[in-house]
């Protein structure tokens, strides 16, 4: 039987299933006499204190086993235990309703979980799990029960559970748990994040998983694609054992590349950096060996809330990225790119016939100068703390670039007048996402410090194929000769003016594209963090000089298929690295 869930932590686990039946303690409402409320509140406070102590121990052992960052979640849980809206509310309910502590806590938890679970932002939505986790711990102390052990298995099992709390996950022992499958959760739930750092293959969000398997049955978990196979035949088992072995060998090989420079076999160095959406992502980027950030999609700071982030908030977010990555590491911050498929409920944008061709990104920012200026000031201020570079999205004309730079100059003057520090040498670049900008790149290059090619949009505009429309997705062809020609024009234009050219669209992390981009002279490749190490290993096996004629040959071909075929045929390492 094949089940499809959400790929949460890559790798393969093969072993016997262990279905974790939770004995969910049912919470009964018990009315208490008004005179007993104080004693009930004290009982809750004692359970909270015991929970805090327990969390302190888990935090320390997690920090020692997995690192400080992984342990942070438990500090957050400790803070939740001090939250007035949580424990404070439960205490208020005991007194107001004259009910037992278990019931009051249960009610408040359910209310908070409902609020968080209904949020738009995936990250915030999954914080509902933190409330459940903390509440469960306090309930356990209220009942005096012992914590269930997830480490007592005779041999490595594949765990099936409705959900694993972050603290459950942190306690898993890799020699006893080969992998896990949960019925709820998403890629950004803490147990998924932790599974990735513990390198335990995991699939989450697989509704009904527990009913589809019995303890003792043989299972395969493919954490890279989210597939779970129950009772596989001998042939499938053998095939997955081989995949597992290759995957693990490759993972070990990649680790050796984490702190190495990104250099080709013939000694040509490029920069491999990561795309991030929030300051927390920076840690994952660093752990995956990224040499900096090539695209910080700042619009995510504006989402999942109901007002604009203030200058101060943004300043802290940008500074946090510099702190995580290191002050000398390049951090390219892209200014707000809202519109298209990205909406802000509180911005009330007009409905448009063609949102991707409409009022978005720099077009909107040049119109909403108040918003834009706030962000420019925040970025400038943060530039005093790291190697920040500023980048405007969706530039189509040089007039837009100049208008944006004028506002930047105003922001600088304001900061000068206020005596606030910023980096006067901060580089300012643009994304090349609109064909008009690619074609006029030679002119734009005179007025910028760098280009970063946004192929996600450049492809959709070049091919006139909406990137959100499944029916035309076959036309989303980054390898189309026209796209490759535009890329070449942009890189050449930058170099002829002594500027550097990067790429932050998905194409930059595509192993088939890397040899061509290297041959065309791309200086910086920005990609999702998990693509960095495979890209670095591939680069180490490529000869830069040999990639130049390969790129020329590709540019003479007429279809995207022929071009990809050429690259894969000439460079066997691509297939080896694509497991
Ligand atoms: C792009 O268009 O390639 C890009 C990186 O920007 P986004 O995907 O955020 O539109
Ligand atoms: Mg874009």
Contact (Cβ atoms closer than 8 angstroms) between residue 451 and residue 429: yes
CA distance 226 to 209: 12
Q: How high is the pLDDT of residue 25?
A: 60
Section 90-96 average pLDDT: 92
CA distance 354 to 575: 39
- Residue 464 Cα, ligand 2 centroid: separation in angstroms? 14
Q: What is the pTM of this model?
A: 0.73
Closest by Cα among 154, 190, 194, 195 to 175:
154
Helix, strand, or coil here: 432? strand
Binding-site residues, in ranges, read: 297, 334, 433, 456-457, 467
- Ligand 1: residue of 505, 510, 522 to mutate (most ligand atoms within 8 A of CB) is 505
- Tens digit of pLDDT for each residue in 359-403? 999 999 999 999 999 999 999 999 999 999 999 999 999 999 999
Given the residues 190, 288, 385, 480, select the one marked as catalytic.
Answer: 190
Tokens 């450049």 found at = 458
Structure tokens at 226: 């989210």
Contact (Cβ atoms closer than 8 angstroms) between residue 561 and residue 568: no
Known catalytic residue at 322:
no
Q: Is the dihedral of CA 446, 448, 452, 458 positive or negative?
A: negative
Helix, strand, or coil here: 453? strand
Section 433-443 average pLDDT: 98
- Tens digit of pLDDT for each residue in 321-352? 999 999 999 999 999 999 888 888 898 888 89
Closest by Cα among 120, 14, 495 to 343:
120
Spatial neighbors of 532 by CB under 8 A, at least 6 apart, are: 272, 273, 274, 285, 288, 289, 290, 509
Closest by Cα among 427, 429, 425, 365 to 391:
429
Residue 188 clears pLDDT 70, i.e. is over it: no
Section 91-119 average pLDDT: 90
CA distance 371 to 219: 53
Contact (Cβ atoms closer than 8 angstroms) between residue 260 and residue 536: yes
Q: Give, in order, the Cα–Cα distances in Å from 60 to each of 53, 170, 347.
A: 11, 11, 43
Ligand nearest to the CA of 277: 1
Tokens 């694993």 found at = 164
Section 182-195 average pLDDT: 80
Q: Give, in order, the Cα–Cα distances in Å from 383 to each of 286, 290, 423.
A: 19, 20, 5
Structure tokens at 187: 């890629």
- Tens digit of pLDDT for each residue in 485-520? 999 999 999 999 999 999 999 899 999 999 999 999
- Tens digit of pLDDT for each residue in 344-358? 889 888 889 999 999
| pLDDT band, residue 23 (cuts 50/70/90) | low
Binding-site residues for Mg(2+), in ranges, read: 433, 457
All residues with CB under 5 Å from ion ligand 2: 433, 454, 457
Q: How high is the pLDDT of residue 323?
A: 96
- Ligand 1: residue of 340, 431, 503, 525 to mutate (most ligand atoms within 8 A of CB) is 431
- Residue 454 Cα, ligand 1 centroid: separation in angstroms? 5
Q: What is the mean pLDDT of the chain?
A: 92
Binding-site residues for phosphoenolpyruvate, in ranges, read: 297, 334, 456-457, 467
Beta bridge partners of 293: 274, 331
One DSSP character per residue, 492-537 reads: HHHHHTT-EEEE-SGGGG-TTTHHHHHHHT--EEEE-GGGHHHHHH
CA distance 70 to 56: 13
Section 290-317 average pLDDT: 94
- 409-415: list long-range contacts, CB under 8 Å, 24+ apart: 410/373, 411/373, 411/376, 411/377, 411/380, 412/380, 414/377, 415/377, 415/380, 415/381
Residue nearest to atom 1 of ligand 1 (CA): 454
Known catalytic residue at 190:
yes
- Ligand 1: residue of 504, 526, 528 to mutate (most ligand atoms within 8 A of CB) is 504
Q: Does residue 141 come out as left (phi exceeding 0), alpha (psi in the -120 to 50 range) or beta?
A: alpha
Q: Give, in order, the Cα–Cα distances in Å from 418 to each of 337, 381, 404.
A: 28, 12, 21
- Residue 448 Cα, ligand 1 centroid: separation in angstroms? 19
Look up residue 320 and give its DSSP letter.
H
Q: Please give all residues whose beta carbon lies within 6 A of any atom in ligand 1, as ranges.
A: 295, 297, 337, 433, 454-457, 504-505
Beta strand ranges found along 183-264 (DSSP E): 202-204, 218-222, 227-230
Structure tokens at 147: 């914590």
Beta bridge partners of 18: 159
CA distance 115 to 135: 15
Beta bridge partners of 500: 450
Q: Which of 168-182, 201-215, 279-293, 302-316 has the lowest mean pLDDT?
A: 168-182
Q: Give, in order, the Cα–Cα distances in Å from 290 to each of 66, 193, 321, 524.
A: 20, 18, 13, 11
Count of C-beta atoms within a 10 Å radius of residue 238: 11
Section 98-106 average pLDDT: 93
Helix, strand, or coil here: 183? coil
In terms of C-beta density within 10 A (0-12 exposed, 13-18 middle, 19 or more buried), how is residue 110 classed?
Answer: middle
């Amino acid at each position: 039987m094949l089940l499809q869930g959400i790929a949460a932590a890559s790798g393969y686990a093969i072993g016997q299933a262990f279905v974790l039946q939770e004995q969910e303690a049912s919470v009964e409402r018990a009315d208490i006499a008004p005179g007993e409320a104080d004693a009930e509140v004290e009982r809750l406070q004692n359970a909270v204190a015991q929970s805090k102590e327990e969390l302190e121990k888990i935090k320390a052992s997690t920090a020692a086993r997995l690192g400080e960052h992984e342990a942070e979640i438990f500090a957050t849980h400790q803070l939740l235990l001090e939250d007035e809206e949580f424990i404070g509310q439960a205490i208020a309910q005991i007194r107001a309703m004259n009910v037992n502590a278990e019931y009051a806590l249960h009610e408040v938890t359910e209310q908070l979980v409902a609020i968080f679970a209904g949020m738009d932002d995936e990250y915030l939505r999954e914080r509902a799990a933190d409330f459940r986790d903390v509440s469960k711990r306090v309930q356990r102390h209220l009942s005096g029960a012992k914590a269930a052990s997830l480490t007592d298995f005779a041999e490595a099992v594949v765990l099936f559970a409705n959900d694993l709390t972050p603290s459950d996950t942190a306690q898993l022992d890799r020699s006893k748990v080969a992998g896990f499958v949960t019925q709820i959760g998403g890629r950004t739930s803490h147990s998924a994040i932790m599974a990735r750092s513990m390198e335990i293959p995991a699939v989450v969000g697989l509704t009904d998983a527990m009913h589809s398997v019995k303890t003792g049955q043989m299972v395969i978990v493919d954490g890279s694609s989210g597939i779970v196979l129950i009772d596989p035949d001998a042939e499938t088992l053998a095939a997955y054992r081989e995949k597992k072995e290759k995957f693990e060998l490759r993972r070990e090989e990649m680790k050796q590349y984490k702190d190495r420079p990104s250099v080709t076999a013939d000694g040509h160095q490029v920069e491999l950096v990561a795309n991030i959406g929030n300051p927390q992502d920076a840690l994952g980027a660093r752990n995956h060996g990224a040499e900096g950030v090539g695209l910080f999609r700042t619009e995510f700071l504006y989402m999942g809330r109901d007002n604009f982030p203030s200058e101060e908030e943004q300043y802290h977010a940008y500074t946090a990225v510099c702190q995580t990555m290191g002050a000398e590491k390049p951090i390219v911050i892209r200014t707000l790119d809202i519109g298209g498929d990205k909406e802000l409920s509180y911005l009330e944008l007009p409905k448009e016939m063609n949102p991707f061709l409409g009022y978005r990104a720099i077009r909107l920012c040049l119109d909403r100068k108040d918003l834009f200026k706030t962000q420019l000031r925040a970025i400038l201020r943060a530039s005093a703390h790291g190697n920040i570079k500023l980048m405007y999205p969706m530039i189509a004309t040089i007039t837009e670039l100049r208008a944006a730079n004028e506002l930047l100059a105003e922001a600088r003057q304001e900061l000068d007048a206020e005596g606030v520090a910023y980096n006067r040498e901060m580089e300012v670049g643009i994304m090349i996402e609109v064909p008009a900008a690619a074609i006029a790149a030679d002119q734009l290059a005179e007025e910028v410090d760098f280009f970063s090619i946004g192929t996600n949009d450049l492809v959709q505009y070049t091919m006139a194929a909406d990137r959100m429309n499944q029916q035309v997705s076959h036309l989303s062809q980054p390898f189309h000769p026209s796209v490759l020609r535009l890329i070449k024009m942009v890189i050449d234009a930058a170099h002829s003016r002594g500027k550097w050219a990067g790429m932050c669209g998905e194409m930059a992390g595509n192993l088939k594209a890397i040899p061509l981009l290297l041959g065309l002279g791309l200086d910086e490749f920005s990609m999702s963090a998990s693509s960095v190490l495979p890209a670095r290993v591939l680069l180490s096996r490529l000869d830069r000089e040999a990639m130049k004629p390969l790129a020329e040959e590709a540019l003479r071909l007429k279809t995207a298929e022929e071009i990809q075929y050429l690259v894969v045929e000439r460079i066997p390492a691509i297939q080896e690295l694509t497991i």
